[in-house]
Structures are given as structure tokens and as C-alpha cells.
Structure 1
Amino acid sequence: MNTYSKFCPNVFLAKCTERHAKGDIINVTTKYGKENESEVFNLIYEKDGFFFYSIIRADGTSAQTRAEAKAVRYNTWAAAAENKSNQYYEASQEGREFLALGEPIKIGHHSEKRHRALIERNHNRMGKCVEFSEKAEAHESKAEYWERKAKDVNLSMPESIEYFEYKLETAKERHEFYKKNPDKREHSFSLTYAKKDVNEAQKNLELAKRLWA
């Protein structure tokens, strides 16, 4: 049975008992027993009789598509909550014309019970209106987060090679600019941080190539 093995942030390899060739389609089982059909890319290393391969989901599912699906789900929930909020608001307008007159409750009058019940119903409805409005805002906030995540590129994706090539190029240009223009540095650590960015991009590019080249 092939299982998942954590390799680095965002990246899980297929831990296999048998050798596979690039392009092979294999099933990889999660810790919950679910099987995902996956395409083999590169043999990353061998250990204790197991072969560890970089893989992508054969159905096209990735970190980006999962984030997109979550964004859609939260947007759907936000719309439903907003609709509920509007419904409760509309319902809370029951007897608006009468209440707008500011008539006091007539104690002991036959209308007292209806008057109090109307005020209580509308109060409860406005409470629900606010409750669902807050839920809608919370769902919208999460949807925005997952929409941003859907644009991320990380090492779990074959396209990360081109992405980190670009990141390395821009990091080198920035580092070189600070070396030649000390007066343009924002603070005393600008050059140090720029060099750190170069090293980080270089490390990620090497990992990306190891995984997907």
C-alpha cells in the first residue's frame, strides 16, 4: 500500500513499497483510509526499503483548487446568511406604521397583549437579523482569505519551478541594487535581508527542481 509522507511545508510524497516510473498512475492512501489516484513524478529518495516519490493528484486537485473550493463554499454560506438576515429584517417591520406612532402600551386594555407580543417578535427578529449579518461577515472574511490562498504557488505544484526562478531573479536584482546603492537601503539590515531572500529563493528553486524537473 502506498501512503503519504511529509517532506517539507506543503509537500507530501508517496511512500511506496515498489519502484515506479515517471508518469505512472498509482493510488495513495491517506491516514483515514481514502485512496487518491496520483501521478508519479520523481524518485526523491529511498529509505528502509521504501521509495519516496513526488506526486500530484490525477484528478487535478491541488492546494489552489482546494482553496478555490473553500472560497466558493464560504461565499455560498455568506450569501445564505445575508439572505436570512434580510428576511428577519423584513419580518421585523411588522406593524411598522402602528409602532411609528409611538402609542404607549395600554395597561389592562384588550390590545395590551398584542402590543407587547408585536414588540417582542420584532425585537427577536432584529436580534436574528444581526446574528445572521455577523455570520455573513465572518463567512465573507474566510472566503476572502481562501481566495487569496487560491493564488498562492508553493512547492506542492510543478509550476513552482517557474515561480521560484522568478523569485530568485527578482531577489538577486534587489540584493545587487542594495549593494550598489547603500543610500537606498531602508535600514541597516536591508542588505542582510535581501541576501536572505536570495538564499531562500535559491533553496526553494532547488527543491522545486528536485521535486518536479
Structure 2
Amino acid sequence: MNTYSKYCPNVYLAKCTERHAKGDIITVSTKYGKENESEVFNLIYEKEGFFFYSIIRTDGTNTQTRATAKAEKFNNWAASAQKKSNDYYEASQEGKDFLSLGEPIKIGHHSEKRHRALIERNWNRMGKSVALSAKANAQESKAEYWERKANDINLSMPESIEFYEYKLESAKAKHEGMKNGTVKRSHSMSLQYAKKEVNEALKNLELAKKLWS
């Protein structure tokens, strides 16, 4: 059975008991028993009789599509919570014409019980409306986060080679500009940070090529 093995942030390899060739279609099982059909790319390493391959799912699922699905889920939850909040708010307006008159509760009058019950119902409904509105805002914030993530490219995707080639060239240009003075240094550590960006981009590009070239 082929299983997943974490290799680096965002990247899971297929841990296989048999050798495979690039382009082979295999089934990889999660720790929960779900099976995903995947395409083999490169043999990354061998260890203790197992073969570890870079893979992509044949159904097109990746970090971007998962982020898009999560954003949609949270947006749906936010819309549902907001609708319920609005419904409770509308319900809390029961008897508003009467209550707007500011009539005091008539102690001992036959209307006392109804008057108190009306106020209590509306108070409870307004409380639920406020709570659900806050919940909707929280879900919207989560949806916005995943919408931003839906545009991310990382090492789990073959497209990361071109992405990190671009990042490396940009980082090199920035570093060189700081050295020759064409790019302003905002603080004393700017040049060191720029060099660190170059090293990080180079490291990621080498990983991307190892995984997907």
C-alpha cells in the first residue's frame, strides 16, 4: 500500500513499496484510509526498502483548489449565519409599535404577563441576532484568508519551478541594486536581508526542480 510521507512544508511524497516510473498512475492512501489517484513525478529518495516519489493528484486537487473550497465553505457558513441573524432581528421587532410608546408595565394588570414576555422574547432574539452576526463576521474573515491563499504557489505544485525562478531573479536584482546603490537600503541590515532572500529563493528553486523537473 502506498501512503503519504511529509517531505517539507506543503509537500507530501508517496511512500511506496515498489518502484514506479515517471507518469505512472498510483493510488495513495491517507492515514484515515481515503485513497487518492495520483501521478508519479520523480524518485526523491529511497529509505529502508521504501521508495519516495513526488506526486500530484489526477483529479486536479492541490493547495489552491483546497483553499478555494474552504473559502466557499466559510462564505456559505457566513451567509447562513447572517441570514439567521437577520431573521432574529426581524423577530425582535415584534410589538415595536406598542413598545415604542414607552408604556410602563402595569403591575397587577392582566397585561403585565404579556408585556414582560414580549420584552423578554425580543431581548433574547436580539441577543441571538448579535451573536450570529459576530459569527458571520468571523466566518467571513476566514473566507477572506482562504481566498488569499487560493492564489498562492508553493512547492507542492509543478508550477513552482517557474515561480521560484522568477523569485530568484527578483531577489538577485534587489540584492545587486543594494550593492551598487541603485536600490535604497532602508536600514543597516537591508543588504543582509536581501542576500537571505536570494538564498531562500535559490533553495526553493532547487527543491522545486528536484520535485518536478
TM over 0.5: yes
> Which letter does structure 1 place at the counterpart of 2:127?
G
CA distance in 1, matches of 2:85, 2:47: 57
Which residue type is aligned with residue 142 of structure 2? Answer: K
Deviation, 1:41, is 0.5
Are positions 1:163 and 2:163 aligned together? yes
Q: Report 1:180-191 matches (<5 A).
A: 180-181=180-181, 184-191=184-191
> What one-letter code is carried by the residue in structure 1 that aligns with 2:170?
T
Match of 1:99 in 2: 99
User: How many residues get paired?
Assistant: 213
Amino acid at match of 1:112: E
Structure 1 residue 148, shift from structure 2 partner: 1.0
* Deviation string, structure 1 residues 32-71 (Cα, Å, up to 9, x no partner): 1111110000111112221110000111110111111000
Tell me the equivalent position of 1:82: 82
Instruction: Give 3-state SS (helix, strand or coil) of 1:184's partner.
Output: coil
Report the TM-score when normalising by structure 2.
0.98
1:47 aligns with 2:47: yes
The one-character-per-residue Cα deviations of 1:77-106 (angstroms, maximum 9, x if unpaired) are 000000000000000000111000000000
> Match of 2:31?
31
1:187 is paired with a residue of what secondary structure? coil
Unaligned segments of structure 1, at least 5 residues? none
The Cα of 1:183 is off from its aligned counterpart by 7.9
TM-score by length of 1: 0.98
Tell me the SS of whatever aligns to 2:106: coil
Q: State which drifts further: 44-53 or 108-117.
A: 44-53
Q: Distance in 2 between matches of 1:13 and 1:64?
A: 18
- CA apart distance, 1:129: 0.4
Contact 2:168 2:202 in 1 (8 A): yes
Corresponding residue number in structure 1 for 2:63: 63
3-state SS, counterpart of residue 108 of structure 2: coil
Moved over 4 A (4+): none
- Identical positions, percent: 78
CA deviation string 1:143-201 (max 9, x = no partner): 01111111111100010001101100100010011001188200010000000000000
- 1:15 corresponds in structure 2 to 15
What is the CA–CA distance in structure 2 between the aligned matches of 1:182 and 1:69, rounded to whole Å?
Answer: 43
CA RMSD in angstroms, aligned pairs only: 1.0
Whether 1:153 and 2:153 are equivalent positions in the alignment is: yes
- 1:71 and 1:106 map into 2 onto residues whose CA distance is 52
